[in-house]
Amino acid sequence: MNSKKNILITGGAGFIGSHLIDFLMATNEYSITCVDNFDNFYDPELKRKNIKPHINNADFKLIEADITDKNLFEKLDGHYDIVVHLAAKAGVRPSIKDPVLYQHVNVVGLQNILEIAKLKFVKQFVFGSSSSVYGINPNYPWKESDTDLMPVSPYASSKIAGEWLGKTYSQLYGMRFIALRFFTVYGPRQRPDLAINNFTRKINTGEPINFFGDGNTFRDYTFVKDTVDGIVSAMKYDKSNFEIINLGNNNPVTLSQLVSTIEKVLDKKAILNKLPEQEGDVPVTCADISKAQQLLNYNPQIKLEDGLKQFISWVNFWRV
């Protein structure tokens, strides 16, 4: 008899999802169904590389489909113990350009997956939310108990809507719904458009980097392994039926400090193309992680410099 838990992971070929799959497959305790549409927001071949090691594993199944597909239920055979929903249209600034698409994928798509979970009697649903929901809230470090959210992008608003959708399903159907607010996750396989990836490649090749504002904006950077540890703990959490939990590092650094640290690790100087602050950017992200520590035994381990060394080793290995 197969005692392995069946896990459905949406967006599993992406940055965070593929690291989660690597971890779970290594335990030999799970059978995983990965749903991904290989969106062309960045090169889909990068995502195919992420999951390539598992394609021929009997405990891994890939379904190429969109989360908004109303016929997705028919493509998902069998029972799932846990759903980890990481698929989404990502990015603050792109959401300002196309808010309708972000609403459709991030809210309607989530609703579709929640409906599938309801029909399949899934008891545990873990949702990838975002620190963007806090917006320009000045009361940092940000606590989950602070309801005075100030989103400044359609992306952030779609994540707030997702949290409330999850609460509704939890109350109506007894589904445990855990929303994890991710704080600027970085590491190997990070999306090419994100600052650490973009800066590292350009500094390495001597190209100018776009440096927005005065360099004093703060970000709470979280290494992907620490984020995955938090997700795995949330998959096992069973003390209540609805929670919103920050997964950050509680150690924000300025944009100037980030660039200096990348320069140090690469042993190269950055060429700065100084520009005004961008629409949708917030001055600070800073997580209060006491709730994650209490409920998930979450304890981020990786310091920024060490995480950047791992990321740069990956960049040099793949050279993509």
The Cα 155–Cα 161 span in angstroms is 10
* pLDDT score of 186: 97
* pLDDT score of 199: 95
* pLDDT score of 2: 62
The Cα 113–Cα 165 span in angstroms is 11
Tokens read off for 110 = 């989530």
In this structure, are strands 5-10 and 82-85 parallel, antiparallel, or unpaired?
Answer: parallel
**Partners of residue 242 on adjacent β-strands:** 177
Predicted TM-score (pTM) of this structure: 0.95
Instruction: Determine the CATH number of domain 5-186+222-249+287-300.
Output: 3.40.50.720
Give burial (CB, 10 Å; 0-12/13-18/19+) of 102.
buried
Task: Give which of 239, 162, 185, 248 is closest to 20, Cα–Cα.
Answer: 185
Which one is catalytic: 30, 155, 221, 298?
A: 155
Which residue positions in the chain have pLDDT lower than 50?
1, 320
155 is catalytic: yes
The Cα 57–Cα 63 span in angstroms is 14
* pLDDT score of 147: 87
Contact 313, 265 (CB under 8 A): no
Residues 285, 95, 104: CA angle, nearest 5 degrees = 120
Tokens read off for 181 = 């607010």
Q: Which residue has the tokens 């992008």?
A: 153
Contact 314, 188 (CB under 8 A): yes
Distances (CA, A) of 209 to 272, 274, 318: 5, 8, 21
* pLDDT score of 317: 61
The Cα 231–Cα 223 span in angstroms is 13
Longest dimension (CA), the chain: 61
Task: Give which of 82, 110, 73, 88 is closest to 14, Cα–Cα.
Answer: 88
Q: Where are the domains of the chain?
A: 5-186+222-249+287-300
Q: Which residue has the tokens 């927005």?
A: 212
